[in-house]
Structure 1
Amino acid sequence: MKLLRRFSIAILSALVFALSLAFFEYTSSMEQQAGVSTFTISALFVLYLLYSLPIYIIGGIVYSHYVDVYFEKIKFRNEVLKYIMYILVYIAGGLFIVGLLLLITYLIDGEVSGLLISNIFILGVLASLLFFHISLLVNKVLKIKANEPFM
């Protein structure tokens, strides 16, 4: 059941992430220059989804599983401290997964000099925090649904 929940969180996160990037990167028709081709917002969405979905499914599910296993062993007295620790661990996870992807890119291509590495690390951190917060939201909704009386 937890694997199905993580899988749905990964899909939701990838959808939100791809949609956010598509809106951020979209060039409206009023801002487009003549003779320069641009992507439609739906094409950007599909492009970002194709890249982010496998990373969320493989990296996000595996990493969140290990984080949850580790944090089940720790008992926090303060919920704020627990939240901050989760934030820091997910930031580290985003940096780790992006670093791993850059290493794979380097091993395949032999260079990563054409990439804006600082921006890629920022996107990794934002993606991991998005995964974490969507998992909090999904878990909260499921907890509320479980407490509702059956009709």
Structure 2
Amino acid sequence: MRGNAALSQKSQPELRPPTLKPAHIHNEFYIALANCYWGTNLADGLGDQKMARATETDVAIAVMQIAAARSDGFCSFNRARADVPKYVTFAAADLKQSLKRPGEPMWHQLIRNIRSHHDADGNFIDRGLLVHVSRKGYEITAAGRAYLKKNGIITFRT
């Protein structure tokens, strides 16, 4: 039996973990391209030591919280720019000044993106959680209030 056990051990292939590159290496070209267009270093949000960039979802939830805390259920663009930082922690890359809109931090674009991406799957307008009020801001819907409640998201008066 000893001989058969030794034979079966030798016939097993040696298993080695695959050699992998960090996930973002293959995206370097696209990051460089986006950096040229947006005038920022998108890599600031990548890597173990760096904080992740805020997302459109982060900002949309903050807008819903702001609107839900108001009796009229409305969050103006000006109020969003003033109050979203009370709800969202921004990375350094989010706080950099936009080259496309001087005097404005990069994260302000996320407020506008809620409307710009209104027909994209998962967008808060597409899902019926927010309504865009042209040139004014966003209004939370009953579904939006239910979403906050269901997910245990706390609102406070601003």
Specify if TM > 0.5. Answer: no
Greater C-alpha Rg: 2
TM superposition score normalised by structure 1? 0.34
Greater strand fraction, Structure 1 or Structure 2: 2
